[in-house]
Amino acid sequence: MNYGFSKTVELSFEDTINKVTEELKKEGFGILTTIDIKETLKNKIDVDFKKYTILGACNPTLAHKALQAEEEIGLLLPCNVIVYEKDSKSIVSVFDPSLMSKVVENENLNPIAEEVKEKLQRVFDSI
């Protein structure tokens, strides 16, 4: 994957979501949105799907800095973290925020994106 980083963890799906949420909190992120894809697809189009959750994580201080540097950066916020099951294992994938600076040509975003990436990398490493 060239737009994020991903790994398999030795926790149940529910424990993985709890661990990710806990580690994000340690780095100043809160969860703004939780999208249960399995439930949504079942309710909307009556399709069975594996456990798959999208967590919309936001660090308010860094989001504020990014919005000051580039008003339209909200199109790329919040930082998405996904947790899903594959072959009875839990997978965690995190969006690489340094890609924002490739999408948006604004050098002022580079240090902010790098700081977000460092924090998300610490979260990722601790799971």
Please list the pLDDT of the chain residue by residue as tens digits (127 residues).
Answer: 688 999 999 999 999 999 999 999 999 999 999 999 999 999 999 999 999 999 999 999 999 999 999 999 999 999 999 999 999 999 999 999 988 878 888 999 999 999 999 999 999 999 9
Domain 4-126 has CATH 3.40.190.150: no
Estimate the crossing angle of helix 13-26 against helix 110-126, to 10 degrees. 130
Please enumerate in sequence order all residues whose Cβ is within 8 A of that of 91, keeping only pairs 6 or more positions apart, or say none.
6, 7, 8, 9, 82, 83, 84, 85
Considering only CA atoms, which of 66, 65, 41 is closest in space to residue 52?
Answer: 41
- Amino acid identity, residue 110? N
C-alpha 92/C-alpha 40 separation (Å) is 20
The verdict on pTM exceeding 0.95 is no
Q: Which two tokens stand for residue 31?
A: 């969860």
Q: Which helix (H) or strand (E) holds 11?
A: none
Helical segments of 27-96, H only = 37-45, 60-69
